[in-house]
C-alpha cells in the first residue's frame, strides 16, 4: 500500500533532502507519494531567501518549479480547530494537514513533540530515519538512486561527496549507509 508522506518546509529548504525525497519516490515504484501545502512551499522559499538574500530570482523560481513538478499533491486547505497536543502552536498546520490529507508520515526535522504528543494516525519522522527506512525496504531502488546521485554530483566541480552532503543536511545514519554503497565507492577519486 502506498504511504502518504507530508513533506514539511524544512525538508524542502535543503536541496540535498529535496533531491533524495523525490529520487527515492521516483525509483521505489509507488512505495510512497509525497504531498505538501502552499504554506510549506512558501515557508521553504522564504527561509531560502532569508539565508541567501543575494541569489537571483530564477534560483528560487526553479526551486518552486522543482517542488511543484515532483510532489503528487499540494493541499491548499486544512481545518482549523482540531485538538492539538503538540508543544509548538506554529506546527498546528502540520497536524491539521496530516489529518485532512490522511498522512501516514510527516517528514520533518522538527522535534516530534512539537507536532503531537498523543496517539495520532500519522508518524512524525526525521528525514534521516525516513530515508533509511526506504533504503531498507527497497534496497535495489536505493542503490539505483545512489548510483544516479554519485554520477551526477561526481561531474560537478567542487561538489561535496554524497555522504558529506547528507551529514551536513542532518542525516548521519543515512549518510553512513550511502557512503558504504559500492556505487559511491566506485565514483570516489583515488
Q: pLDDT tens digits, residue range 31-73?
A: 999 999 999 999 999 999 999 999 999 999 999 999 999 999 9
Q: pLDDT tens digits, residue range 96-134?
A: 999 999 999 999 999 999 999 888 999 999 999 999 999
Give the per-residue pLDDT at 185: 58
Task: With cut-offs at 50, 70 and 90, classify the pLDDT of residue 184.
Answer: low
What pTM was estimated for this model as a whole?
0.93
Task: With cut-offs at 50, 70 and 90, classify the pLDDT of residue 157.
Answer: confident
The closest alpha carbon to 24, from 9, 5, 39, 10, belongs to 5
Amino acid at each position: 500500500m502506498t504511504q502518504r508522506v507530508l513533506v514539511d518546509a524544512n525538508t524542502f529548504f535543503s536541496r540535498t533532502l529535496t533531491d533524495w525525497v523525490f529520487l527515492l519516490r521516483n525509483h521505489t515504484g509507488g512505495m510512497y507519494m509525497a504531498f505538501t501545502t502552499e504554506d510549506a512551499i512558501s515557508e521553504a522559499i522564504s527561509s531560502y531567501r532569508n539565508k541567501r538574500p543575494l541569489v537571483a530570482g530564477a534560483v528560487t523560481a526553479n526551486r518552486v518549479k522543482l517542488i511543484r513538478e515532483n510532489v503528487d499533491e499540494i493541499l491548499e486547505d486544512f481545518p482549523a480547530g482540531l485538538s492539538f497536543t503538540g508543544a509548538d502552536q506554529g506546527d498546528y498546520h502540520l497536524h491539521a494537514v496530516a489529518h485532512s490529507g490522511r498522512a501516514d508520515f510527516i517528514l520533518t526535522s522538527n522535534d516530534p513533540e512539537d507536532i503531537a504528543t498523543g496517539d495520532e494516525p500519522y508518524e512524525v519522522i526525521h528525514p534521516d530515519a525516513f530515508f533509511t527506512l526506504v533504503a531498507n525496504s527497497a534496497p535495489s531502488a536505493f542503490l539505483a538512486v545512489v548510483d544516479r546521485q554519485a554520477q551526477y554530483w561526481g561531474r560537478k566541480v567542487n561538489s561535496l561527496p554524497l555522504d558529506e552532503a547528507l551529514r551536513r543536511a542532518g542525516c548521519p545514519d543515512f549518510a553512513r549507509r550511502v557512503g558504504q554503497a559500492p556505487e559511491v565507492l566506485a565514483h570516489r577519486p583515488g
